[in-house]
Amino acid sequence: MTDSPQSPPETEAAIQGMAEAGTQIVNFWRQGIDSWAPLLAPLAAAGRDKVHPRDKRFAGSEWEHPVFDLMRQGYSVMSDYMLGAVENLDNVPPEQRARIAFAVRTIVEAMSPANSPLTNPVALNRAVETKGQSLMSGLQHLVEDLKRGQLTHTDPQAFRLGENIAVTPGKVIHQTPLYQLIQYAPQTETVLKTPLVIFPPWINRFYILDLTAEKSFIKWCVDQGITVFVASWKSADASMSEVVWDDYIAAQIDAIDTIRGLLDVDQVHTIGYCVAGTTLAATLAILAARGEANKVKSATFFTAQVDFSRAGDLLNFIDDAQLKLIESLETNGYLDGRYLALSFNLLRGKDLIWSTVVNNYLLGQDYPAFDLLHWNGDVTNLPAKWHRAYLCDLYRDNKLVQPGALSALGVPIDLTKVETPSFIQAGREDHIAPVESVWKIRDHFRGPMEFLLAGSGHIAGVVNPPAQMKYQYWTNANPVSSLEEFVAGATETKGSWWPYWHEWLERFDADRVPAEGPRIPGGGNLRAIEDAPGTYVKTR
């Protein structure tokens, strides 16, 4: 990790000058606004019900000022009208209406009076109280982010890989040009005989599952006596211009075979998170077609999709114009991860873009030390060729659920051949892999399946350690034929779903072996290459 670049003295002087000028403008603006307050107070009080009570953007007491109250009321009425107008469009196909709704929502969120320093009373008061220091700090944040080409959400100095984040002890024991295989050191005298290999999404860094020790899913699994391996994908560069889906599938099979050979076991448990779960489904289909399905004892899917017919707002990024724009952003055979990060942030623009603008630019607040936001900003480049194919073949054309429509490694993919026992986890509020989409895995696999609905979304729904006792999850042991039927008869349990999953895993094989020899990283026929978290996760 590198320190943020320091602004040169001339830049700081310019920022100071702009902040002082801004303070004078703020004082003049506030005096004018206050003069209107007595005249507008009755009108503001009459329309108070127009403001959504849960809208955090307008929750500050400063918004009770009649002028600003009318601003937020007018904005609320306008936004409701614009969004409602889209819903009432006639003779518009559903797919086009969804794109229009997404575009309008994005514009409406950007138009909020909370986003402007002259129409946000909290920012105005802050500027006066700090004598312009908040404006100066906000401008410095803006300048630094413009240099980075990316929004900053958290203190860039707060976390160091291998020091206070991604610290679960382990070693890199296998490496290819595409991924490093990390084996974690056992913390119990005995471990489950069948090991676990986790495939995180290659669009993100793997340490979403190994944040601080209190939140680490990997550490928690190790502490339960599981031999854990994780694939750490390399961020794409020019050398990966020809990488396609086949390469990621081959990497998953390579990891499975490497672990089987290292530990001298017939089978492994697997986890696929998000797009790596999509790839795991294809991997299982290929193994089944080859007669090698028994290499995988179980497969767990974290918020993963195989049927993209109900893939949510991300479908708005795959029309011809969007695909052409994405292609224009590709450089040297890869797509800069900052563009992908912006796309995901747009899905929750109010929370991930505009709240940052307000807090860090308008209010000049210091960045929080938040491990999850640090990970969210640690972007990964993608192989351009494969990224385009993924959007076209899966999101746009939904070929993965058409038997034989896609092939990999010379083998036609047919998900109906998958009989591997599967655990399918979805997030109730997931905006990236909607629960309705994740559920549809059940329409294609043929093996025994356990479905679990977790509280929260794509990240917090997965990263929910038992010690925190946050959120909840729902299960349903009865035979059900639809998501609606599952929800109607589901049992809610408070807290983390991790222990429930662990019990499910142990149903297959509770046999344990001593945590020695090859169960210790570097203790088998594969030497330790380097300490976890490895170098690939640090490659920018």
Q: List beta partners, residue 314.
A: none
For 173, list phi and psi in degrees, rounded to 5: -115, 0
* Residue given tokens 């929370």 in the structure block: 351
Q: List beta partners, residue 530.
A: 172
Closest by CA position to 328, among listed 394, 391, 384: 384
Using CA atoms, how far apart are residues 15 and 143, in angstroms rounded to an integer?
A: 9
Using CA atoms, how far apart are residues 223 and 241, in angstroms rounded to an integer?
A: 39
Cα first-last separation, the chain: 9
Q: Are 480 and 450 in contact (CB under 8 A)?
A: no
- Say which of 123, 166, 274, 357 is annotated catalytic: 274
* Preceding amide of 533 cis, omega within 30: yes
Closest by CA position to 400, among listed 423, 424, 418, 382: 418
Using CA atoms, how far apart are residues 243 and 284, in angstroms rounded to an integer?
A: 20
* Residue given tokens 């695909």 in the structure block: 323
| Rg of the Cα atoms in the chain | 26
Task: Centre a 10 Å sphere on the Cβ of residue 355 and count the other Cβ atoms it contains.
Answer: 17
User: How far are the Cα atoms of 170, 198, 269, 310, 520 from residue 187, in angstroms, in the given order?
Assistant: 11, 18, 19, 42, 10
The sign one gets for the Cα dihedral 487, 99, 317, 102 is: negative
User: How far are the Cα atoms of 43, 50, 111, 116, 439 from residue 66, in angstroms, in the given order?
Assistant: 8, 14, 20, 18, 48
Compute the CA torsion angle 106, 110, 112, 117 (nearest 10 deg).
170
For 95, list phi and psi in degrees, rounded to 5: -65, -40
Task: Centre a 10 Å sphere on the Cβ of residue 212 and count the other Cβ atoms it contains.
Answer: 15
The secondary structure of 243-291 as a DSSP string is --HHHHHHHHHHHHHHHHHHHT-S-EEEEEETHHHHHHHHHHHHHHHTT
DSSP class of residue 164? T
**Is 274 assigned a catalytic role?**
yes
Q: Are 458 and 432 in contact (CB under 8 A)?
A: yes
Q: Which residues belong to the active site?
A: 274
